[in-house]
Amino acid sequence: MATKQQQREQTTAALCATARRLFAEHGYNNVGLETIAQAAGVTKGALYHHFSSKAALFRHVLARVQDEVGERVQHAADAHPDPWTQLVEGCRAFLTAGTDPEIQQIMLIDGPAVLGWNEWRTLDDQSSARHLTDALTTLVTAGTIPPQPVEPLARLLSGAMNEAALWLARSDNTEADREATMTALTRMLDSLR
């Protein structure tokens, strides 16, 4: 028999998985708490026991999605020993993740709209943006790119990649457009050297 702690964890996991699926399929504004509770097989009261609001549940889902994207970026970068290649492949992994309709809807469309830019940015700073900042810091320290403030550079690149990911999500030819985007991004990155 499951302990109360295990039951809480199972209920939270079920709510998050259900909410994630529904938010990805229908968008935040088109999903009600009653729908999430019913689909997860719990009462609305049980949902409120775990999350104070739909926005709180969404924030939890978004944080997990951003963590997953950050893990993808880190995994792709870590597959290469050269810091420059790590940067380029990490950027590629981010753009590829952004073409996933679930990630695009939750992280890039609903995230900033639901939580506001500042809170969304804080979550992003803890995941893929942190990896980008770390990679750029390593390259500046190694002398691969000229000494410069890393924070504005990371913001500029992050903004460009977020915009590219949104564009790619609406592409009729995602694979070709992603490769064209990576070519343009690589040229942009090469200009930093």
pLDDT at residue 28, as a whole number = 97
Domain with CATH 1.10.10.60 in the chain: 1-51
> What pLDDT is stored for residue 117 in this prediction?
87
- When the candidates are 3.50.50.60, 1.20.120.140, 1.10.10.60, 1.10.565.10, the CATH number that belongs to 1-51 is 1.10.10.60
> What confidence score (pLDDT) does residue 190 get?
94
pLDDT in tens, 82-121: 999 999 999 999 999 988 989 989 998 999 999 998 898 8
Q: Which of 101, 7, 15, 10 is nearest to 58 (CA)?
A: 15
The pLDDT score that the predictor gives to residue 123 is 85
pLDDT of residue 103: 93
Q: State the span(s) of the chain assigned CATH 1.10.357.10.
A: 54-191
Per the CB < 8 A criterion, the answer to whether 121 and 72 are in contact is no
pLDDT < 70 stretches in the chain: none
Domain 54-191 part of CATH 2.30.29.30 = no
Return the pLDDT at 33: 93
34 Cβ contact partners less than 8 Å away, ≥ 6 residues apart: 44
Cα 67 to Cα 49: distance, rounded to the nearest angstrom: 24
